[in-house]
Amino acid sequence: MIGVLQVKNLCQRYGKTTVFSEVSFELPTGSFLALLGPNGTGKTTLLKSIGMMFFPEKGTCVLDDEDLFAMTAPQRARRMAYLPQSTHAPFPMQVIEAVLLGRFPYTAFVPKQADREKAAQVLERLGLSALAFRDLSHLSGGERQQVFLARALVQNPRLLLLDEPTSNLDLKNQLQTMQTVRSLCAEEGLTAIAAIHDLNLAAMFCDHFLILHQGRLSAFGGEEVLTPELIHEVYGVAVEKLRYGGRPFILPCI
């Protein structure tokens, strides 16, 4: 089906432990999906399985009728990009070099003029031009996150996978990152999946929600699936769901 990301029967295990099984969902392209669930529930693993960074035990993942799991790794890397949680870099690397790595699945040995132009444009677009020749290790966490987002965008992906994109960021950077991703989805039809902890941030920016609980998909859908009952069951926390200015807020009852 065109315009849909179809994940079917995705199963993953570590050794003999099943992390999750039978995860299936259909997501319209251009959506921003939040993967929710408590720590250790396998959100990140699910994200990485969809990205084939961990080879899933079984299951399929089809985007616009293209079987992502049947492709070669470079083919796949031209369709989906991954934004890591935090990357510790032991060696110096300039921002522009890091962003150019996003052209790895496309380029021959040396980045071509078109690759460099693409990198420069994306840096410009994310407002990072001034950082282009700074060393990654001299940047703040928020700036680094933006640089990795730039690298992912330089890949020209149609599917963007984000692993806890807002952890380690201050409020402004959290909002900015989520806002950028949402506008990419809305304006360019990019589909984004983010493993995320903050229910309110997710509710504010995402349009689809997948709750993973005890190795199963326990809910999938729009914002209406985030019921206080479900959140209590999954996170073990009693909450109230309020509305303010038309937006939902999840408020813990302590």
Partner 1 sequence: MSPKDGAAEILREYDSRRAKGLFLILGGLALTLVLAVWFTALGAIDTGWSDILHTLRAAAAGQELDTGQKVILHLRLPRVTMAILAGAGLSVSGAAMQGITRNPLVSPFTIGVSNAAAFGATLSIVFGVGLFPGTQAGTVLMAFLTAFLCAALVYLVSLRVGLSPQTLVLTGIAVNYLFSAATSLIQYFADEHRLAAAVAWAFGSFNGVEWSEVSVSAVVVAASCALLYRYAPALDLLSSGDDEVARSLGADPNRVRVATGALSVLATAAIISFTGVIGFLGLAGPHIARMLLGGSHRRLLPFSAVVGALLALIADTIGRMILAPVMLPVGIVVSFLGVPIFVNLILSQRKGA
The SS3 assignment for 68 reads helix
Long-range contacts of 62-70, Cβ-Cβ distance < 8 Å, separation of 24 or more? 62/5, 62/6, 62/8, 63/4, 63/5, 63/6, 63/29, 63/158, 63/159, 63/191, 64/1, 64/2, 64/3, 64/4, 64/29, 64/158, 65/1, 65/2, 68/159
Q: Where does this chain touch partner 1 (CB under 8 A) — which range of 22-30, 48-56, 194-202, 241-249?
A: 48-56
**Using rule CB under 8 A, residue 250 touches partner 1:** no
48 versus 213: smaller Cβ distance to partner 1: 48
Shorter beta-carbon distance to partner 1: residue 125 or 232: 125
Q: Is 112 in the site for partner 1 (CB under 8 A)?
A: no
Is residue 73 within 8 Å of residue 248, measured between CB atoms?
Answer: no
CA distance 205 to 190: 14
Phi, psi of 19 (to 5 degrees): -80, -50
42 binds partner 1 (CB under 8 A): no
Stretch that binds partner 1, among 46-54, 58-66, 216-224, 246-254 (CB under 8 A): 46-54
Q: What is the x/- site pattern for partner 1, positions 114-153, by CB under 8 A?
A: --xx-xxx-xxx---x--xx--xxx---------------
107: contact with partner 1 by CB under 8 A: yes
Q: 188 or 240, CB closer to partner 1? A: 188
Rounded Cα–Cα distance for residues 166 and 178 (Å): 8
Q: Is 155 near partner 1 (CB under 8 A)?
A: yes
List interacting residues with partner 1 (CB under 8 A).
Answer: 48, 51-53, 72-78, 80-82, 84, 87, 89-94, 96-98, 101-102, 104-105, 107, 109-110, 116-117, 119-121, 123-125, 129, 132-133, 136-138, 155, 161
